[in-house]
Structure 1
Amino acid sequence: MTRATEPGHLGPLLVEAINAGDLDGLVDLYEPEAALELPDGSVARGRAEIREFYAAFLAGRPVLTPGEPLPPLVVGDLALTNTRIGPDTTCEVARRQPDGSWRWLLDRPSLALGSAGVPQDSDT
């Protein structure tokens, strides 16, 4: 998988990895100690838990359509990234890595995952 050379590349790389079913590439977009908010509001912490979530997510063979990326807000080695997807907007914090690439440290997808091929709870 290609590394993100700019923080704004992370969102498109995520869509590419999901659509390709590339679990390793997907997990590689995150720092080892990253946190990912899950659809139920709980948090996957670290790559092992993030991998577990995405393995189950990819089992549904979702196909995502790229959203509208908003310009990243960059201060030094940190960046706030957002993508508008319909009425939802994602919110992530990325950090520049020692090799100059970018990975997410915090990820709040804010997506209706049911629209991406994963059934939503009928109570929501």
Structure 2
Amino acid sequence: MERPAQPEDLGRLFIEQANAGDADALTDLYEEDAVLALADGTTAIGKAEIHEFYTRLLADRPTFTAAPQRPALCNGDWALTSTKFPGGATAEVAHRQPDGTWRWILDQPNVLGE
């Protein structure tokens, strides 16, 4: 799997891996203790819970469509990533890893909620 060399790569790789139905690859986009906000107001904390969520989500083979990403707002090894889609927007905090790649540590898939 391609590794995210820039924070903006995370969103693109998410779409590619989600459409491939690969929960393992999606989970690898997150740090070990990452937090993912869920639509019901709860959170998935850590890779095990995030993997469980994506396994359930991808079971019905949904299709994800790419949307315009904002340029990442970076400060050293931290970056704010976001994508605007019809009816919402995402907000994520990415962290540069020791090998220079990026992973999400915080993920809010819809900051506008529904």
Q: TM-score, normalised by structure 2?
A: 0.95
Higher helix proportion (structure 1 or 2): 1
- Equivalent position SS for 2:8: helix
* Count of residue correspondences: 113
The match for 2:50 is: 50
Task: Tell me the CA shift for residue 8 of structure 1.
Answer: 0.4
Q: How far apart are the structure 2 equivalents of 1:53 and 1:82?
A: 21
The match for 2:73 is: 73
The match for 2:28 is: 28
Unaligned runs of 5+ in 2: none
The match for 1:92 is: 92
The match for 2:61 is: 61
- Equivalent position SS for 1:11: helix
Check the 8 A contact 2:91/2:111 in 1, yes or no. Answer: no
Return structure 1 stretches of 4+ with deviation > 6 angstroms. Answer: none
Q: How far apart are the structure 1 equivalents of 2:50 and 2:92?
A: 15
Task: Tell me the CA shift for residue 60 of structure 1.
Answer: 1.4
Task: Tell me the CA shift for residue 111 of structure 1.
Answer: 7.7
CA RMSD of aligned residues (A): 1.4
Q: How far apart are the structure 2 equivalents of 1:68 and 1:111?
A: 15
Task: Tell me the CA shift for residue 27 of structure 1.
Answer: 0.3
Task: Tell me the CA shift for residue 64 of structure 1.
Answer: 0.6
Q: TM-score, normalised by structure 1?
A: 0.88
**Matched letter for residue 39 of structure 1:** A
- Equivalent position SS for 1:2: coil
Q: How far apart are the structure 2 equivalents of 1:90 and 1:25?
A: 19
